[in-house]
């Protein structure tokens, strides 16, 4: 059955929001690289890859349901932050906004009785819980360690080990 028009509209907005998120994280990665924080840059680059995978999952879902994908221009993102802590606090705020957008998609799909989309969106709801938690963990570590010195050096080395594993290909947490 072809996807409901209202559901298609909110999912298209979400596709664009996910691509914007990817763009934001790529910008954050570049900023970290410029600060000499290659591990943090790596962590953000993996976030960029995850957000791109999320956008593609929404994209492919709309197409699978015989819908139309409508990509929009990507709005400008920030390219510098006051500090590492500030950047991660902004990251957390952003992930909370993404959660709200996904919840809105869920509410529209539920109101339209589009059970297939409700089911698909449950994966994203679970994924967002993990995304917010991961960022809060890093914020806590930065607050504990401070932004300079040996502790942040070791955290940077730890974050450098993160590798991209397409989350859309595995069950959500």
pLDDT per position as a tens digit, 118-137:
999 999 999 999 999 999 99
pLDDT per residue over 78-96, tens digit each? 999 999 999 999 999 999 9
Q: pTM of the full predicted structure?
A: 0.93
Q: Give residue 148's pLDDT.
A: 87
- Cα distance between residue 100 and residue 121, in whole Å: 12
Q: Give residue 168's pLDDT.
A: 85
- Domains in the chain, please, with CATH? 5-164 (1.20.1260.10)
| Mean pLDDT, range 3-24, rounded to an integer | 98
Q: Give residue 10's pLDDT.
A: 98
pLDDT per residue over 54-70, tens digit each? 999 999 999 999 999 99
| Mean pLDDT, range 15-25, rounded to an integer | 98
- pLDDT tier at 171, thresholds 50, 70, 90: low
- Cα distance between residue 44 and residue 159, in whole Å: 9
| Mean pLDDT, range 23-32, rounded to an integer | 98
Mean pLDDT rounded to a whole number for the chain: 96
């Amino acid at each position: 059955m072809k996807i409901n028009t209202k559901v298609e509209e909110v999912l298209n907005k979400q596709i664009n929001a996910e691509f914007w998120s990817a763009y934001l994280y790529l910008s954050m990665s570049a900023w970290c690289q410029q600060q000499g924080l290659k591990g943090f840059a790596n962590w953000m680059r993996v976030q960029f890859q995850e957000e791109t995978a999320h956008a593609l999952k929404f994209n492919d879902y709309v197409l699978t349901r015989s819908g139309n994908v409508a990509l929009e221009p990507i709005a400008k993102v920030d390219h510098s932050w006051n500090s590492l802590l500030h950047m991660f606090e902004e990251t957390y705020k952003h992930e909370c906004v993404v959660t709200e957008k996904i919840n809105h998609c869920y509410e529209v799909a539920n109101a339209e009785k589009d059970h297939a989309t409700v089911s698909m969106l449950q994966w994203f709801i679970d994924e967002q819980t993990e995304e917010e938690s991961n960022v809060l963990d890093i914020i806590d570590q930065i607050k504990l360690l401070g932004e300079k010195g040996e502790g942040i050096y070791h955290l940077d080395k730890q974050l450098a080990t993160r590798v991209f594993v397409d989350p859309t290909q595995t069950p959500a947490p």
